[in-house]
Amino acid sequence: MKQEFTLEIVSDNNFSILNRIVNVLNRRRVRIKKLIAHENHDDFTRGSAILLVYTTADLMEKVKHQLEKLIEVEHANYYEGNAQYYALNEKNNRQVA
Amino acid sequence: MGALLTKTESKAQSEVQTAKKISGSEVLLRSLIAENVKTIFGYPGGAIMPVYDALYHFQKELDHILVRHEQGAIHAAQGFARVSGKPGVVFATSGPGATNLVTGLADALIDSTPIVCITGQVFAHLLGTDAFQETDVVNTTIPVTKWNVQVTEAKDIAPAVAKAFYIATTGRPGPVLIDITKNAQNELIEESEYRQCKSVRTYKPTPVLQYDQVEAAAELINNAKRPYLLVGQGVLLSEASKELLAFVEKTGIPVASTLLGLGAFPADHPNYVGFLGMHGNYGPNINTNECDVLIGLGMRFDDRVTGNVNKYAKQAKIIHIDIDKAEINKVVKADVAIHADAREALHALIGYCKPNKHEAWLQSFHKLNQVEYEKVTHRELNHPKDDLKMGEVINHLSRFTNGEAIVVTDVGQHQMTTSRYYKYKRPRTNVTSGGAGTMGFALPAAMGAKLAVPEKEVVAVIGDGGFQMTLQELGTIMQYEIPVKVMVLNNSFLGMVRQWQQLFHEKRYSATEMVNPNFIKIAEAYSIPAIKVERREDLQPAIQKMLDAKTPFFVEVVVGKEDNVFPMVPAGACVSDCLLEPPTPNP
Return the CATH architecture of domain B19-190: 3-Layer(aba) Sandwich (3.40)
Instruction: Give the CATH superfamily of B211-364.
Output: TPP-binding domain (3.40.50.1220)
Largest Cα–Cα distance of chain A, in whole Å? 40
**Domain housing A81:** 2-96
Which of A19, A27, A62 lies at the smallest CB-CB distance from B139? A19
Beta bridge partners of B338: B321
Chain A and chain B share a number of CB contacts under 8 A equal to 47
Q: What is the mean pLDDT of residues B189-216?
A: 97
Contact B477, B447 (CB under 8 A): yes
On the question of pLDDT at B1 being above 80, the answer is no
Cβ-proximal residues to B563 (8 Å cutoff; 6+ apart), any chain: B387, B389, B390, B413, B491, B495
Enter the pTM of the model. Answer: 0.95
CB contact (8 A) between residue B329 and residue A61: yes
Which residue would you say has higher pLDDT here, A92 or B60?
Answer: B60
CB contact (8 A) between residue A74 and residue B329: no
Q: What is the mean pLDDT of residues A44-63?
A: 97
CB contact (8 A) between residue B326 and residue A66: yes
Domain count, chain A: 1
On the question of pLDDT at B39 being above 80, the answer is yes
Which residue among B299, B390, B496, B568 is the active-site one?
B496
In three-state form (DSSP H/G/I as H, E/B as E, the rest C), the secondary structure along B537-570 is HHHHHHHHHHHHCCCCEEEEEECCCCCCCCCECC
State residue B13's pLDDT score. Answer: 43
- As a dihedral over the C-alpha atoms of residue A66, residue B330, residue B218, residue B350, rounded to 10 degrees, the angle is -60
B1 is known as an active-site residue: no
Phi and psi torsions of B114, nearest 5°: -75, 120
The Cα A16–Cα B478 span in angstroms is 41
Residues of chain B with pLDDT > 90: what percent?
A: 94
pLDDT category at A92 given cuts 50, 70, 90 is confident
Contact B434, B109 (CB under 8 A): no
B132 is known as an active-site residue: yes
State residue B7's pLDDT score. Answer: 57
* Structural domain boundaries in chain B: 19-190, 211-364, 388-562
On the question of pLDDT at B6 being above 70, the answer is no
State residue B384's pLDDT score. Answer: 77
B496 is known as an active-site residue: yes
Region of poorest pLDDT, from B87-91, B341-345, B373-377, B548-552: B373-377
**Between the CA of residue B208 and those of B304, B431, B499, what are the distances in Å?**
30, 30, 46
CB contact (8 A) between residue B326 and residue A68: yes
B388-562 carries CATH number 3.40.47.10? no
Residues of chain B contacting A12 with CB distance shorter than 8 Å:
201-202
The Cα B248–Cα B243 span in angstroms is 9
The CATH number assigned to the domain holding A85 equals 3.30.70.260
Which of A16, A66, A71 lies at the smallest CB-CB distance from B202? A71
Angle between helix B70-84 and helix B102-110 axes, rounded to 10 deg: 20
- Which amino acid appears at position B332 of this protein? V
* Shortest CA distance from A26: residue in chain B: B143
B133 is known as an active-site residue: yes
ipTM of predicted assembly, 2 dp = 0.95
pLDDT category at B582 given cuts 50, 70, 90 is confident
Coil, strand or helix at B156: helix
Q: Is it true that B19-190 and B211-364 share their CATH fold?
A: yes
pLDDT category at B20 given cuts 50, 70, 90 is confident
Which residue would you say has higher pLDDT here, B5 or B1?
Answer: B5
On the question of pLDDT at B8 being above 80, the answer is no
pLDDT category at B240 given cuts 50, 70, 90 is very high
On the question of pLDDT at B586 being above 60, the answer is no
Which residue among B146, B182, B389, B423 is the active-site one?
B182
**Between the CA of residue B9 and those of A15, B6, B189, what are the distances in Å?**
21, 9, 16
On the question of pLDDT at B333 being above 90, the answer is yes
Q: What is the mean pLDDT of residues B186-213?
A: 97
Which of A23, A45, A61 lies at the smallest CB-CB distance from B7? A45
Which residue among B26, B35, B41, B70 is the active-site one?
B70
How far, in whole angstroms, is CA B462 from its chain's centroid?
15
CB contact (8 A) between residue A19 and residue B146: no
The residue among A25, A71, A72 with the most chain B CBs within 10 A of its CB, best to mutate, is A71
CB contact (8 A) between residue A71 and residue B200: yes
State residue B15's pLDDT score. Answer: 45
Residues of chain B contacting A13 with CB distance shorter than 8 Å:
5
CB contact (8 A) between residue A71 and residue B167: yes
Q: Tell me if chain B has a CB within 8 Å of the CB of A73.
A: yes
For residue A25, the distance in angstroms to the closest alpha carbon of chain B comes to: 12
In tens, the pLDDT along B435-486 reads 999 999 999 999 999 999 999 999 999 999 999 999 999 999 999 999 999 9
CB contact (8 A) between residue B147 and residue A16: no
On the question of pLDDT at B567 being above 70, the answer is yes
Q: What is the mean pLDDT of residues B560-583?
A: 92
Q: Tell me if chain B has a CB within 8 Å of the CB of A66.
A: yes
Residues of chain A contacting B324 with CB distance shorter than 8 Å:
69
**Between the CA of residue B151 and those of A15, B145, B156, what are the distances in Å?**
11, 16, 6
Residues of chain B contacting A15 with CB distance shorter than 8 Å:
4-5, 138, 150
Element (H, E) at B272: strand B272-275
In tens, the pLDDT along B111-120 reads 999 999 999 9
The Cα B564–Cα B369 span in angstroms is 18
Burial of B279 (0-12, 13-18, 19+ CB in 10 A): buried
